[in-house]
């Protein structure tokens, strides 16, 4: 499973990239707004840090405008994947721009049927938001599993990005569910590195070493 970082913060991206585990980055309008920086400039900088798919989202909601904006966003860098919300207009836009070779990530997917339609329209990626489903008392991981199964059964190339990840168990479960990618906030990525027995083990090794050989 590939790991994308779910942030528009370049310090976080730079740090995580230095660990050698980042395959790509996803942003959304809320994440970019948090940075209070020019959109094109942020996307360009992210592309200069990570050599992989970088999702950047359109703001337009009507198909014609989405198509124009998607073309502009795709021009920022060859690695840019245009994120388009899962609406009828979004599907129309995906079907047009995907034929032009523009890579797309259909976002805000909350049902298997939405994912199926996005794949049929030509989406490169679909992003089921599992954490937001968990928030309303539904098992978000079941959706990830269903979409992976449907794409496998019918041979769609569209990749599944487990999104709206809230904790390390989401990542493990998404990997077991067969998600091609998990897009992970930096805080969760840091939690994934931790285990108390690792810290206890290091402390014991150091104590034993210093007991025998000194500092």
How big is the CA angle at 28 (ends 26 and 32), to the nearest 5 degrees? 105
Q: Is 120 among the catalytic positions?
A: no
**Minimum separation from the CB atom of position 62 to ligand E4P (A):** 22
7 binds ligand E4P (CB under 6 A): no
Q: Which of 2, 36, 65, 83 is catalytic?
A: 83
Per-residue contact track with ligand E4P, 131 to 170, x per CB under 6 A? xx------------------------------xx------
Cα torsion angle, 83, 56, 125, 143, sign: negative
Closer to ligand E4P by CB, 45 or 134: give it: 134
C-alpha to C-alpha distance for 134 and 170, rounded to whole angstroms: 11
**DSSP three-state, residue 128:** strand
Distances (CA, A) of 106 to 49, 62, 177, 192: 24, 15, 19, 27
- Which residues have a catalytic role annotated? 83
Write out the residues near ligand E4P by the rule CB under 6 A. Answer: 6, 26, 28, 107, 127, 129, 131-132, 163-164, 183
């Amino acid at each position: 499973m590939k790991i994308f970082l779910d942030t528009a913060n370049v310090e976080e991206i730079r740090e995580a990239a230095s660990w050698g585990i980042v395959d790509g980055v996803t942003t959304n309008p809320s994440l970019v707004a948090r940075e209070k920086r020019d959109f094109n400039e942020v996307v360009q900088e992210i592309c200069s840090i990570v050599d992989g798919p970088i999702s950047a989202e359109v703001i337009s909601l009507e198909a014609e405008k989405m198509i124009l904006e998607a073309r502009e966003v795709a021009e920022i860098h060859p690695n840019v994947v245009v994120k388009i919300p899962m609406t009828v207009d979004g599907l129309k836009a995906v079907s047009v721009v995907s034929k032009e070779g523009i890579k797309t990530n259909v976002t805000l997917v909350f049902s298997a049927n939405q994912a199926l339609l996005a794949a049929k329209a030509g989406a490169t990626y679909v992003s089921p938001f599992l954490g937001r489903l968990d928030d309303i008392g539904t098992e978000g991981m079941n959706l990830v599993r269903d979409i992976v199964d449907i794409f496998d059964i019918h041979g769609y190339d569209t990749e599944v990005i487990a999104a709206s990840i809230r904790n390390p168990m989401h990542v493990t479960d998404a990997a077991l569910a067969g998600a091609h990618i998990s897009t992970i906030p930096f805080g969760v990525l840091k939690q994934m590195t931790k285990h108390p027995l690792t810290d206890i083990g290091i402390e014991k090794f150091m104590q034993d070493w210093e007991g025998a050989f000194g500092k």
